[in-house]
Amino acid sequence: MRFVADAVVPCTGDTAVLRPGAVEVAGERVTRVGTPAGLRATGDPGTREVTVDGALLPGFVNTHCHSPMTLFRGTGENLPLLRWLHEVLWPREAHLEPEDVYWGMTLAAAELLAFGVTTSCEMYFHEDANADAVLDAGSRAVLTPGVLQLPGSEAAGSWWTASLDRFADFHARRNGEAGRLEVGFAAHAAYTVPLPGLVDTAAAARDRGALFHLHVAETAGEGDAFTAEHGGSVPQVLADAGVFDGRVLAAHSIWLSPEDIAAYAALDVAVAHCPQSNAKLASGIAPVVDLLAAGVRIGLGTDGPASNNDLDLWEELRLAAMLARLRQGDAGVLPASTALDLATRGAGAAIGRPDLGVLAPGAMADMMAVSLDDPAFVPLLDDAMLLEHLVWSASSRLVTDVWVGGEQVVSDGVVLTVDLDRARDEVGRRAERLASVVD
Ligand SMILES: [Zn+2]
């Protein structure tokens, strides 16, 4: 099948734009990208053509998310991170049933797909229900269930071993399922999981070539007790302990010293940058410009919908650029092309998936069409301006159609794969129950 669009933005790490452009897809993958005339001249005459009104982009990759927390959207507002976790979130999460997570993820998947976000890297429990919801919604996810001690559960000895056994079983059963699921491992953070637990979780991931996902340096003081016990910053102690030796994704990573950044670069630790969550919770502004300069892989993430409060990655790419400019005091840093890269190729690279976030031969045929029929794209004087408009004046409202692995999941703004009325109703009722259990 050949998709012919007014523009194709391949997002392969440069500023190339094809106007008009075409993308050929066979099965779940992209086979060729070029001009319509060029592909027609050299392609199979039997190729079916689909006309796309607007620009075709790779689907966005959300590198850090707790999507089923749609169940807790708007709950416990205006609290700093640690109070919010301890007083609001964890007491409720202790009462979650698998079906709650299924519906929370289903509603989230509908929201993600409508915004053109075709992959999310999820850290959440009840992982089988989460996986079922992703597949039923026709989406794609990297699922990294996390080691974490919720209040009320037993904590003795190496309490994380039981979780790791369960995650290993989950990995064995479901990694690669339907070509849509990848399974990794997570440990919540160095302030909630002791160092031996972090070491063991990282090793379980590394042994399987799986992604290891954790929160690092999200708030200024969260590492103080860890540093007092282990005599170094969280990144430096984790680096020395071998925790960073595999495929590692460190979410937030705001409060990093130059030595921490050097450790990330040396061990190729990737960062999931969550500017909106970081701003809303007053956690801080991550040193994105310094991380990029050091060669660290970075992708954007929304974080959970209770600290954002949506799953709209379009908001993140603009805010990432704005906050980087404020932090540096320089309007020239983080140009539109870089911001867009953080949601596409850079985000795929950050989770170790070069086949995601790009339109190139061999990549997954995860794509979105963006309407150019909007004041946001006027004037359009050259290709560079298309990239500027995508970041600075467009938004998720202009996403019209979305495909995952070549299958259409959004048409004319309507999500085809989720019964949205039912999902809204289920999440609303379940959220009410979870609120009443605690209050
Ligand atoms: Zn998080």
Q: What is the pLDDT of residues 88-114, one digit of tens each?
A: 998 999 999 999 999 999 999 999 999
The pLDDT assigned to 81 comes to 84
pTM: 0.97
Ligand 1 mean position, distance from CA 404 (Å): 25
Ligand 1 mean position, distance from CA 318 (Å): 20
Percent of the chain with pLDDT over 90: 93
Model confidence pLDDT, tens digit, residues 251-297:
999 999 999 999 999 999 999 999 999 999 999 999 999 999 999 99
| 136 confidence band (pLDDT: 50, 70, 90) | very high
Confirm or reject CATH 2.30.40.10 for domain 2-58+358-415, answering yes or no: yes
Closest C-alpha to 425, from 27, 34, 104: 104
Ligand 1 mean position, distance from CA 67 (Å): 10
Confirm or reject CATH 3.40.120.10 for domain 60-350, answering yes or no: no
| 151 confidence band (pLDDT: 50, 70, 90) | low
Ligand 1 mean position, distance from CA 192 (Å): 13
Ligand 1 mean position, distance from CA 218 (Å): 9
Ligand 1 mean position, distance from CA 89 (Å): 12
Pairing of strands 211-216, 185-189: parallel
| 157 confidence band (pLDDT: 50, 70, 90) | confident
Ligand 1 mean position, distance from CA 251 (Å): 7
For 219-223, 262-266, 336-340, 401-405, which range has the lowest pLDDT when averaged over its residues?
219-223
Ligand 1 mean position, distance from CA 276 (Å): 12
Ligand 1 mean position, distance from CA 341 (Å): 21
| Residue 118: pLDDT over 70 | yes
Ligand 1 mean position, distance from CA 21 (Å): 37
Are the folds of 2-58+358-415 and 60-350 the same?
no
Mean pLDDT of the chain: 96
Asked if 246 and 268 touch (Cβ cutoff 8 Å), the reply is no
Ligand 1 mean position, distance from CA 8 (Å): 32
| Residue 152: pLDDT over 70 | no
| 377 confidence band (pLDDT: 50, 70, 90) | very high
- Listed by start position, the domains of the chain span 2-58+358-415, 60-350
| Residue 156: pLDDT over 80 | no
- How many Å apart are CA 186 and CA 209, to the nearest integer? 13
Ligand 1 mean position, distance from CA 248 (Å): 15
Query: What are 33's strand-pairing partners?
Result: 23
Ligand 1 mean position, distance from CA 304 (Å): 6
| 135 confidence band (pLDDT: 50, 70, 90) | very high
Ligand 1 mean position, distance from CA 47 (Å): 43
The pLDDT assigned to 337 comes to 97
**Alpha-carbon separation of residue 25 from 50, 93, 367, 417 (angstroms):** 11, 41, 11, 21
Model confidence pLDDT, tens digit, residues 15-72:
999 999 999 999 999 999 999 999 999 999 999 999 999 999 999 999 999 999 999 9
| Residue 146: pLDDT over 90 | yes
The secondary structure of 104-149 as a DSSP string is HHHHHHHHHHHTTEEEEEE--SSHHHHHHHHHHTT-EEEE--EE--
Ligand 1 mean position, distance from CA 389 (Å): 29
